């Protein structure tokens, strides 16, 4: 498995609409495995294909307490609860920036799994939030788009101070982060 570079805010791919996957091939399954490895190495709970420079409609999530890791191909939210929660979000593509986002508490998501089998997930709380965040990525939307003008300005000001750490809008995980990931895999 490979650890992939993560694209950060400013890379136009993060604003693109992804393309539905017509037939799931071994190349897609390799991408899914690499996305899980990258997400775990970066200590994330989700990752969407545009974040690793790909335009396929694919995302992965692994939320503690949310059951097993889930790979989602062509996911769609088919229902949202009317009740909402406000909670802090981060994004692996906007490192060190966090803000409260209000979202529906529960969602139902339909997708295909890595073998092309249809799956339906009824999710609440952090899993529901993470699924919404990842499916937004697949439509070029970022959590900062939900913020008020003032909060978005403050998030972007924070980002402006750190973005120079990511030349060409690429976040390459450090050797230490990758080594830690390999150690965890061996346990
Ligand atoms: O898509 C991503 O950028 C991954 C993102 C997913 C996410 C985090 C929090 C709420 C919704 C979606 C992350 O994993 S950022 C990592 C992080 O800050 C975090 C990790 C565990 C719990 C909460 C946040
Ligand atoms: Zn994100």
Whether residue 93 has its Cβ less than 6 Å from ligand 1: yes
- Ligand 1: does its nearest atom lie under 6 Å from the Cβ of 46? yes
Ligand 1 centre distance from Cα of residue 82 (Å): 23
Question: Quick one: pLDDT at residue 72?
Answer: 98
Ligand 1 atom closest to residue 44's alpha carbon, by position in its atom list: 14
pLDDT tens digit at each of 187 positions of the chain: 899 999 999 999 999 999 999 999 999 999 999 999 999 999 999 999 999 999 999 999 999 876 799 999 999 999 999 999 999 999 999 999 999 999 999 999 999 999 999 999 999 999 999 999 999 999 999 999 999 999 999 999 999 999 999 999 999 998 888 888 888 877 7
Q: What local confidence, expressed as pLDDT, does residue 134 receive? A: 98
User: What contacts 96, CB < 8 A, 6 or more positions away?
Assistant: 158, 159, 162
CB atoms within 10 A of CB 30: 12
The answer to whether residue 180 is catalytic is no
> Does 134 sit in the ligand 1 pocket, CB within 6 Å?
yes
The reported pLDDT for the residue numbered 15 is: 98
pLDDT in the model for residue 174: 85
Cα 81 vs. chain centroid, distance in angstroms? 21
Instruction: Point out the catalytic residue in the list 134, 176, 185, 186.
Output: 134
Query: 133 C-alpha to center of ligand 1: Å?
Result: 8
Could you tell me if the CB of 9 is within 6 A of ligand 1? no
| Ligand 1 midpoint to CA 25 (Å) | 28
pLDDT at 49: 98
Ligand 1 centroid to Cα of residue 136, in Å, is 13
**Burial of 47: CB neighbours in 10 Å, binned 0-12, 13-18, 19+:** buried
Give yes or no for a contact between 50 and 57, defined as CB atoms under 8 angstroms apart.
Answer: no
């Amino acid at each position: 498995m490979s650890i992939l570079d993560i694209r950060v805010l400013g890379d136009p791919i993060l604003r693109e609409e992804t393309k539905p996957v017509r037939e799931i091939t071994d190349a897609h399954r390799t991408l899914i495995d690499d996305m899980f490895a990258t997400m775990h190495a970066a200590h994330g709970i989700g990752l969407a294909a545009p974040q690793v420079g790909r335009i396929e409609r694919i995302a992965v999530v692994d939320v503690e307490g949310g059951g097993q890791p889930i790979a989602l191909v062509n996911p769609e939210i088919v229902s949202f609860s009317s009740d909402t929660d406000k909670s802090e979000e981060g994004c692996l593509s906007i490192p060190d920036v966090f803000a409260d986002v209000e979202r529906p508490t529960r969602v139902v998501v339909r997708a295909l799994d890595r073998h092309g089998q249809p799956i339906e997930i009824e999710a609440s709380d952090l899993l529901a939030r993470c699924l919404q965040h990842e499916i937004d990525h697949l439509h070029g939307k970022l959590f900062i788009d939900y913020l008020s003008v003032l909060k978005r300005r403050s998030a972007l000001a924070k980002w402006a101070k750190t973005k120079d750490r990511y030349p060409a809008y690429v976040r390459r995980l450090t050797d230490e982060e990758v080594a830690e990931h390999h150690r965890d895999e061996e346990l």
